[in-house]
Structure formats: C-alpha cells, structure tokens
Structure 1
Amino acid sequence: MEGVLKVIASTRAAIGCIQAKLDAPDPQTAQWERQAWVEEVKALQRQLAELLMMENRLAGASAAGATVPAADTSREYIRQCITPVEVFNTAQLHDALLAPLGCALPVNSPQRFVLVQGDASLGAKLASVQEEAEVGTAHMFRDWVSVAITHQFALFSFFVADAIINIFARYFPELRISIDCDIVDRSGGARLRPDLLCRVCNALLFKGEHKADRSQFDAAVNELRAKMAKPWDPELQPGVPLPFMLAYAAAGSLLQFFAIETSAASGDVQVVPISPKYDLTLPAHRVEALHATCNVFRILRHTALAIPAIDLGLGQRLVARDGDGRIVRFIHKRIPEFRARHEGAGINDLAQLEAAYEATAGQPGVIQVYTGGSDGGPRLDACGDYIVHLSPVGRPNHGAPSAELERKAAVRAVLEALAALHAKGLVHRDVRWPNLIRTARGAWLLIDLEHVGDAGRSCPPALPLCHAPGMLEAGSIFTTASDLVMVAQQLLSGAPGPLVDELRQQLQARSLTAVEALQHAWFSHPP
C-alpha cells in the first residue's frame, strides 16, 4: 500500500510539471513537442486513475480482510446502468438528467455510508454490495466510480472527458464512440474547435469547454455557443433535421450541463442549461454530476438509433502522410514543421502554395481557401506549422465512381484545375482518386494542393507517385504533361469504351494539354 501511495505522489508531481509547461508555452516550442506533452499528460492521468483505483481496491480488501475475486461483471453492470432513454425535446432534458439510472452507481460500503450520512438523498443514487449483490463483482466500474467521487475533484473533468467515454466505448461498440480532447491545445484551431468533442456514429452529439478558473465559467458557456454548435454539416445531410446537442462547461471546480439547439429557420444557436451548476469541491455535487453524466450517455444511446449515415464528423481529425486536418465549417489543415518537412525535403515552399491557391481561386473544379472571417492562409504560424482553411467540406473518395457520367464529371473537374495550375507554370504531382472529394451539390473537387511544384523540375523522393513508370521525362523532369499522364493512369484506368481508350492513349503520349483534353469527344458522348 505504501508503495502505491509513493507512485501516486510522483505521478501527480509529473502531471503538474508538464501542465506548467503547457500553461505557459514557449513560442519556440514546436507544435509536435507540445502535442507530445499533451499525450504524456493524458497517459499520466490514466495511470493516476488506475493507481487511485488500485489504492481504493487495496484499502477495501484490507478492511475486509480478504482479496478481491478475479471475476469482473462490470460490462453487465454498466449495460444495465446505462439503458437507453428517449427524450423528445430540450424541455425534457432537465428531468432526464435527474432520473434514476438503470441501477444505482456502485461504490464500496464505507464510502456509501459516509456520503449518505452527509446527504440522505444520495441513497437512491449509490449502491454497495449490501443494496445490490452485483456491486460485489463489478470491480472496475465500482473502483472507477469510487475514485471519481472522492476528494480528487481536480480529476473529475478527466473522468468525464476521457475515462467515461473510453469505458462506454469499450462496452458499447455499436455506438462507434470517438473522442478528441484538446483541453491544453493553444493552436489557432482551438479558437474554432471545442475542447472536447465526442462523436457517436460520426455525429457530434456531446462536447465540452474547459477553463482553469471558476471566474471563467461564463466564458466557457459562451464558447459552447460559438464553437461547432451543429451535430453535422447540414449541407452534407440535406433535408435531415438536426438533433439537439448535449454539452458541458467546466471552469475550475464548477461543472454544468447544457443542451444546444440550432434554429432551422434562422440559424440562431440556443444554449439551454439542463442541470444545476455543480461545485465539485462538495461530495454530494460530485455524485450528482457523475449521475447526470451517466444519464447523458443514456440519452446518447437512444439518439444514436436515429442518426443518418455520416461520412465526415465535425471536428474529426483527417490524417495524411505529411499533416492532418480537422473539419469545422471548413477543413483546418495543418502540416507540422513545414520548413523541415517540405522545404527541407525539396517538395515546395510557402510562396509556391500561395501561388497555387491564387491560381485556382474561383475555379469550380478545385478546393478553395475559406475566407469567411478566419485567417484562412496559407500561412505559417508562430511555431512554423503550415495552416490553411479549406472549403467546401465534401465527402471523401477512395476509388473511381461506378457511373460513367460521374467519372466524366470528376475527370473534367481535375482537368479544369490542372489547366489553371499549368497556366501559372505549376504542376499538382499527386493526381489520384483519394485526392478528389464530392460536395453535397454533386460537384467534384481536386484537393491536396500542398504537393504542387514548379513545372519542368525534378521531383523529390517524398512524392512516390511522381516516380511511377512513364511519369517523368528525360532527366527525371516532371512537366505539365506528367500531370496528365497521372490522369490517364490513375483516373482513366479501367474505364471501358473506345473513346476513353483514345483519350487515355493521347494523355499517356503527352500529345494533349489540359485545355485540349477538355475538348475531347469522350466528355460529350452519351454513355
């Protein structure tokens, strides 16, 4: 027991040390290093939670004079506790969060005795083995609840924002729960993205905002209204009514739950409180907040049954080989350490990317820089990370469409985009089906301009598609015609018919420009 307590103390100290560096970031610290600190804090928090649960388990076993049995029925207990609850409108949510769970939260007997002695109303919310025999074998869930409602209130947001979602994700795989937690992110994207995002079946149904001090509670509530107040992009689900979103605001030891509704007519966002404001320094409030959190997920279990198929979740991280992006009202794309990854690797520089987006501005067949009130870039931030905001958001694409008309539309869009780039002496160098998206209105767009370069130059090893057979010209030079060879090999391969065969052969023979290819008879010939 003494050894466990020493490790708990050292783990707390390590978390505090890293958190201090994150709270006062050095502008010279690279984004990847800050992200590594974030991941380290999360890992230490998980370790601390496990240690606290172990401390709780050892203390209980010592008091009982026996060891804990190996069998664990937490899965069955959790699924019985978190039964689905149907709520028709936000007016019913307040009562729904206070409603009894499928079974009471499991705790050890001494803890229940102390809590109920302090507040008799907690008796219906908590159960020990004396009230429900199943508590005796639900070891993991009982330990987790016991730790969450002890004096460790500073960790409560962690239990809400990470541990509880991971537990429910484990025991409710049908919900496809995913979580992004950016409580300590100081990047530009955090101005647009909530601190916590929880997607259920790819719909953003639960989110949270965190502030360090109690005095910042109102600011956390305001950010719930300002950041991503819709479960999905309505343009990608036309005609499907938006459900309400559940959320919480946390500031210091204060926590409160809210419902967020967006008016279909006006687009106005309403943030409605659906719980009391909990003060987590008070044991009774910790129990009530945890009880409300479990009811939130009972509601999410039912809401998930009516969610349409969603390809792109708002706030979802899109990982590419040289960077990542997040979906908000647009794609927030980031390439860490751009100068090392791109300039150092001989791919391109910021001036070339600025020229590429300028050359294709207003072109219908290519992704655009978003200019709706954000610093859309392309630009480098203070840490040297490349940032660009892109719109519109479209459905990802992984292969050729089965319909010939759709393939024609996609190839036409690519040729229009390439014609604009080629007119400015630029080449795309990465034309393939995964680099096309399809918007809600059915338009095809070429994306990933971050691999452009000057025409007539050698192609770096970092772009392997450039080095496919027949792609480069003499001297390993990549030209505008090389882009069109990519169109032939990547987009026209497998397409049947004599006209498309002719177009493919002409592009591979480098006998057409992008403008000339757009005039080919294949595009106007009926399928």
Structure 2
Amino acid sequence: MDRELAKRVGELQQLDDHEKGKAFLLLSGMAPASVENLAMLPDGAFAAVLKLMLRPDRDEEWANTVCIPFKKIPVSAQDLEIAINAPLLAPLPVSRKRFNELERAFGAKANELFVTPDRFFTEDISGLASLIFSPLNANASEGIYDLSLPHLWNLLVSVLEVWPITVSRNFCDHSSSTSKKTRPDLLFWAYDRLVLKTEHKRYESELFEAWDDLRSKMTSLDKIFYGKIEWILGLATAAGKFRFGAFKRGEDQHLTPEWNLASIKDRYSLLQASINILRITLSWQSVFEEHPVRRPFASFEPVTYGDPWSPVTRSFTVVDGVPTKTIRPWSTHVGLHFTKLEYVQQAYNLDDAAETLINGTTCVKQGWKADVYTVEMEVLGISQLPRGHELKAAVLDVLKALQSLHKHGFVHRDVRWKNVVLDISEKYWVLIDLETVWVDNRVPECRPLQTWEPGTLDDDGRYTAASDLYLVGLMLFRYELTVAGKAFQDSLLRKEFQSAAAAITALTSLELSEELF
C-alpha cells in the first residue's frame, strides 16, 4: 500500500451516507479491475481512497488567490517589468508524477513553487500545468504556447467570470508570420482594448525578426488605440525561443530576458508571466471600462449582394490600425452600375475635401485569378448613432461632406446612418462608403438602393444633389424632433435647398440655445 495513503488511514473518519452514495456512483463507472483492486484494500485504506476521489475541486479558490490586481496599477515600463516577473501568490498545482520530475529540475525550491493534488486539489489547472511541463511536449512549441497562453487565460477568465476579457487570433493580418504554415498571432483584449499581441516565426534564428515585426506594428499605432494606458504588451516567439516586451507609440522595451521552452525553468517563467499578464489586465480593467478605445486589429462579417448566382462580397478589416475595405469581384460591382473606378478614385482623393468626408487609397487588382478592389481609409471611426445632443453636429458634418462631393460634380447616393461614423478622436462625424458615387444629375443605371424611397429621384427620374439631401431628411425620422427640427427636415424632404451649402446655412443660423434635435 502507498505509504502516504497508509499514513492517512488512521486520520480519516467513517464516510457518511451522502458520501457513500457518491462513492457508489463513482465506483459504478470504474473498470471492474479497478474496483477489485480497491476492494482488496483494508477498510481504512478503502475509505482513504474514496476520500481522495471525492475531494472538492479547488480551481476557483486557487484562481481567486493568485489572479488579483496589483496594489499599484502598473503604468510605466519599469512597473510592467516588475509585474510580469512577479512571483505567483500561491504554488502552482501539478500532478504527483509531474512534481517528481520538476523536483529534479528545481531541487528543494520545487516545494515552494508547486503543490500536489493530495495537498491542494485542482482538476483543471493542475491538468493544464502538468501538460505544459510534460517531457512529451519538449519539441511542441506551438502546443506549449497554446496551453500557457490562450488555454490558460480562457480557463482562468471562465473561473473568475471576468467576461470583458477575451482572447482571439489575428486572422486579418496577412504578414509572413500569419501564413498558412503558422497560426495567426494571438490577441488578448479587455473591453476592446488590446492588452497583448504576439508575433510568431517558425525558426529559433528568427526571434530578432519576430521582435522587429512586433515593434514595427505596435510602435506605429496611433495613440488613440492606447487610451489612458500608454503601453501595450507583446510577445515575440521563434519556435522555442520567446521574449516579452512593452510597446507604445515610437518606443519599445524588453520586459524579460530571452527564454527557451527547452528549459523546464523557462516554461515555468512563461506560465508565471502569462498569469501575471492576466493580473496586469485586471489592474487596468477599470481604466479601460471608463475610457473605451477601438480595436486596432479586427475582422468583420462579410456582406454579399447582387445576383445570388454570382454575388459580390464586401469585407472590412482593421490591420495595424488601418481600416481596409475589400470588394470582389470588382468588375461585377461596376457591372451592376453602382459606380465606376474613376469616380471612386476621385471621390476618395478630393484636394479640398472637408475632414468629414472619408479619404483613402484605392487599388484594383484584375487578372486571371484576381478581380479585387481595396481601399485603405485614413479614418477609423466608431459606428454608432448620434445621441440627441450630438445630432445637430452630426448632421452638419454629413452636409459638409456632401458639399465637398457636390462641388466636384459627384453624388453619394447611399447617405444613411450606417455610412456615418464618429472619428475615433471623437471630434467629428465622417461620411464613408464611397463605392456608390456617381455623376450628379443622371438617371441611375443601377437598381434602386435600399435607402431610396419614391421621393428620392426627381420628376425625370434623375438622382441629383438634392436627392442626397433628401436621404439626410430620411435619416432624421429616427429622432424626436423639435418644431424647428421638423421644419428643417421638411425643407430637406421637399428639396427646398438648392445645395448642401444652403442647408448648412439654414442649420447653423438657428438659435443654438434652442435644442434643434
């Protein structure tokens, strides 16, 4: 009989009826040979085994002990270096077998760093940690990273029930590190604020390259993606080699030395850093909640339209803070008479355009295997409806954008709230989506757009600048308008304004003390 088990026999009391019932159900699912082996034990040892089998799972207790915010919110690079290398607040649970192996690597210190199930039983955390330290995973770097980072974070977040913290992969970044041969890089979020990004390379000799790519992407991000905390964490990995760092606009800092997964001690350092990143995130959480920011990496659900047998797909991604729209096949979009390439290119690059009209760089690749249109836009906005007190400013900004288009002989043709975003700096509203622009005062060759109502076109069936203003009037039906607001809306719907400039004058001439909308 196991010595430790025998030692506990005399200390255990008789099982009560409830435990006997649980034990019966547990034993009924065991293999017959296992049950026979248990039955051969003396009564006291049999009770001891059942006690071990029925011991409570303490995953939640361990997570709540270890994963707590730092007393001082880490805001500087020095703070972050101390925090990410901080010792764990409790020994890490591992299996008895794994503890014996770790004892050989860590010596007497193993008793301080690790705990076995008989002393502190955690089913999930112990199982995960034991896998990370398994000799079988010695050459499986991607598996160890997955277990130590996303799997561990998801487990702890689930146990702690801190749902605004999420983990995803960067499928929208098509750099060499996210090729088909390697997995997309990890992104760790809290309230849509990027906490940590990884950059992965295939070979150990490429660690410097991984760090350089990470630095290039993170230090070029606009400050608006950082918010009130000026640093974003990063992890560069190259096969088994890895290093953590911190990045802000124009600056990067190493937070750890270069580590290698071939070393059991460095695997522990990875686990320790991973848990401390969660602690750092919990420390930052209240700041993110009060000061939300936009994601610098995102991919949205594609939209299809046109002929069901030959649909057009429009997708939208944000990579390194740059919003990019893709339409494919572009020739089909043009063939449906939504726009022409020369119209779009001019509309996105008007020299004297108002800041409230989106600017961008367009590109079309057409050939045997490609028929793709992309536009990289200069403004990353937040898609949200203006609140009542913001409505007048939003309408003025839309009118200013239309004024720029109309001045150059173009009409937008799809003016609606879905195509108006709040600039991430929250200074102004921006009219976007110029892939339906056309020349003013023409009979549309495309099918009617969803936003068009019977009064959109003029009596001759032409779409004019006044038609764009009419759509602005339709946008106002979402709101409870004052008497002055309804009068302004009526003027738009009756096409009484000769131009966007006239509508701007009418709107700005109203008494500001009177709530227009």
2:346 to 338, 355, 365: 355
For residues 387 and 486 of structure 2, the distance between their equivalents in structure 1, rounded to whole angstroms, comes to 17
2:190 to 188, 200, 218: 200
Q: Deviations over 1:276-329 (max 9, x none)?
A: 322112333222211221122122211223334214233244557432121644
User: Does 2:156 correspond to 1:165?
Assistant: no
Structure 2 unpaired stretches of 5+: 1-29, 39-48, 304-313
For residues 426 and 288 of structure 1, the distance between their equivalents in structure 2, rounded to whole angstroms, comes to 60
Q: Is the 8 A contact 1:175 1:304 kept in 2?
A: no
1:128: how far off? 1.6
Structure 1 unpaired stretches of 5+: 1-57, 370-375
For residues 227 and 377 of structure 1, the distance between their equivalents in structure 2, rounded to whole angstroms, comes to 22
Residue in 1 aligned with 2:488? 503
Specify the SS of the correspondent of 2:396: helix
The AA in structure 2 aligned to 1:294 is I
User: Does 2:294 correspond to 1:312?
Assistant: yes
Q: Is the 8 A contact 2:323 2:379 kept in 1?
A: no
1:438 to 416, 419, 422: 422
1:101 to 65, 78, 88: 88
Specify the SS of the correspondent of 1:363: coil
Listed as ranges, the matches of 1:161-240 within 5 Å are: 161-174=149-162, 176-182=164-170, 185-186=173-174, 195-229=185-219, 233-235=222-224
TM-score, with length taken from structure 1: 0.72
Specify the SS of the correspondent of 2:467: helix
1:390 to 377, 380, 386: 377
For residues 457 and 70 of structure 1, the distance between their equivalents in structure 2, rounded to whole angstroms, comes to 78
The verdict on how the C-alpha distance between 1:495 and 1:77 changes in structure 2, with shifts beyond 3 A counting, is same
Specify the SS of the correspondent of 1:198: strand
Specify the SS of the correspondent of 1:352: helix
For residues 520 and 188 of structure 1, the distance between their equivalents in structure 2, rounded to whole angstroms, comes to 52
Specify the SS of the correspondent of 2:380: coil
For residues 410 and 55 of structure 2, the distance between their equivalents in structure 1, rounded to whole angstroms, comes to 65
Specify the SS of the correspondent of 2:318: strand
The AA in structure 1 aligned to 2:153 is I
Residue in 1 aligned with 2:387? 401
Q: Is the 8 A contact 2:195 2:232 kept in 1?
A: yes
Residue in 2 aligned with 1:471? 456
Q: Is the 8 A contact 2:353 2:401 kept in 1?
A: no
Residue in 2 aligned with 1:283? 264
User: Does 2:286 correspond to 1:298?
Assistant: no
Residue in 1 aligned with 2:243? 256
For residues 327 and 61 of structure 2, the distance between their equivalents in structure 1, rounded to whole angstroms, comes to 43
For residues 488 and 311 of structure 1, the distance between their equivalents in structure 2, rounded to whole angstroms, comes to 31
Residue in 1 aligned with 2:133? 149
The AA in structure 2 aligned to 1:312 is R
Q: Is the 8 A contact 2:177 2:200 kept in 1?
A: no
Alignment RMSD (CA, Å): 3.8
For residues 156 and 417 of structure 1, the distance between their equivalents in structure 2, rounded to whole angstroms, comes to 52
The AA in structure 2 aligned to 1:355 is Q
Aligned length: 442
The verdict on how the C-alpha distance between 1:225 and 1:113 changes in structure 2, with shifts beyond 3 A counting, is same
2:475 to 476, 483, 490: 490
User: Does 2:68 correspond to 1:83?
Assistant: yes
1:225: how far off? 2.0
The AA in structure 2 aligned to 1:438 is L
Specify the SS of the correspondent of 1:522: helix
The verdict on how the C-alpha distance between 1:125 and 1:408 changes in structure 2, with shifts beyond 3 A counting, is same
For residues 400 and 459 of structure 1, the distance between their equivalents in structure 2, rounded to whole angstroms, comes to 33
For residues 389 and 304 of structure 1, the distance between their equivalents in structure 2, rounded to whole angstroms, comes to 31
Specify the SS of the correspondent of 1:358: coil
1:360: how far off? 6.9
TM-score, with length taken from structure 2: 0.73
1:490: how far off? 0.4
For residues 391 and 458 of structure 2, the distance between their equivalents in structure 1, rounded to whole angstroms, comes to 28
User: Does 2:351 correspond to 1:364?
Assistant: no
1:415 to 399, 402, 415: 399
The verdict on how the C-alpha distance between 1:122 and 1:293 changes in structure 2, with shifts beyond 3 A counting, is farther
Q: Is the 8 A contact 2:219 2:252 kept in 1?
A: no
The verdict on how the C-alpha distance between 1:354 and 1:99 changes in structure 2, with shifts beyond 3 A counting, is same
For residues 476 and 70 of structure 1, the distance between their equivalents in structure 2, rounded to whole angstroms, comes to 78
For residues 431 and 442 of structure 1, the distance between their equivalents in structure 2, rounded to whole angstroms, comes to 20
